[in-house]
Chain A
Amino acid sequence: MAVDRGTPNAEATAAERAGEPLLTVEAVDAFYGDAQALWGVTLKVGPGEVVALIGANGAGKTTTLRVISGLMRPEAGSVTMLGRRLDRLSPHEIVEAGVAQVPEGRRLFPLMTVRENLEMGAYGRQARARRRETMDDVFAMFPVLKERREQLAGTLSGGEQQMVAIGRGLMARPRLLMFDEPSLGLAPKLVRGIFETVTAIRDTGVAVLLVEQNVPQSLAICDRAFVLENGRTTLSGTGRELLANERVKTAYMGL
C-alpha cells in the first residue's frame, strides 16, 4: 500500500521510543473449562514488526489470539500494549487501544455490503472519525473492492472475501493487526498475494502478528517468530534462524 495512512490511533509513547515492544504477552495460562490450553505463553511484537506464530493444529495459536483480542480471559499472566494492561479490557476496548484482527475463516457479515463490512471495521470512536479517508486507502490497496462496494460480502469469491476481511481489519487503523490463517483455503496464486499484502501493511508502519499454517512463507517474510507446542512457547528467533532450525524443518516444513 503506497498510500500514507497517517499516524495510527495512538501516538508514539516514551516506552515505544525507548525501543520497548508494542505488545507483550507474558506467561499466559488459559483454559477452556477445565482443560488448560495455554501454559505460560510468552511472546513480544515490536513496533512495525511482522511476527509469525507457528505450530501444529491445536497448539494454541488461535487461543493466543483470542486472549490478546479479549475474547478469552487468561487465568494467569498478562497482555500489555506499550505498558498498558489489555487482559482485563473488553474486546471493543482492545480494538480502541489499537489491536485489530483478521479472523480465521474471514467471518465477514455475509448479508452486508462490502462497504458496510468496512464501516463496521471502523466502529471504534477514533477510527470512525477517519473512516472515509481509511476506506479510500483500503480501496487503493484493493481496487476490486471499490468496484464491488455495494455487493453483499457473502456473494464475493474467496479471494475477494479475504481482501474485505483484511480491509476491515485495517479500517480500525490498528497499531497491531493480527492475522489468523489468512491463506487457508485460497488458491496458491492468491496465497502469494496475501503474503505480499502482509509485507505491504508492515511497510505502512503497522505491526503484524501472523498465525499461519504455511510455515516456510511465514518465516521468509517475518522479522521474528515464535513456535507454539502443546500450548507452550518452545522456540523463538528471527525468521532466518528458525528456517535453518532442524526441529522446525522436520516438524513444520516436511523436510
Chain B
Amino acid sequence: MLLKVEAAAQILLGFAFCQTFGAHIPCREPSDAELESMLSRHLAPGVSLLASMEDVLPDQDLKSCPVNVSQTSSRLQDRSASPWSYRVNEDPRRYPRRVLEAYCLCEGCLVDRQEDRSVQSEPFHQEVPVLQKSGRCEAGQYVYQPSRLQVAQFCICTFP
C-alpha cells in the first residue's frame, strides 16, 4: 500500500516537473531586422515612418493654438489656417513601434488674425503599411501580420 502511494506521488511529481520545465517554451519576439525585412515587402526598403518628412522633429510637449498665423515661417504647418505639428504615436504591439503623426494645434481655424470656432481644424489621414502583433506563436516566435494604420498627415480647415 505504502509503495503504491509513493509510486503515485512520484508519478505526479514527475508530471508536475515536466509541465513546469518541459512543455512550456516562452514565445519570443522576432528581431527588429526580421520585422524590418517583413515590412519592406509592403513598404519600400529603408523608408522610415518616424522620419518621413525632412526637418520634422516630433514634439515632446504638445503645442497649443498660436495667437495668430506665423507668416514668416517657411514651414506649411505654421502658415496654415489650420496649423499642425508632429508627435510620436507609440504602440508596443506594432512594428514600427513609433510612427510620426500630425496633430492639429487649434480646435477652430485661424482666420482674420484670431481663432474662429465657426470652422474647425481637422486632421487628414492616410493609410501606411505596418505590422501588427497577433496573439499567435509559430516556431517559438510571435506572428506579426501586415496591416495598415491610419496616420494623420496634416490638418485642413473645414466647415462643421
- Note whether A and B form a binding pair: no
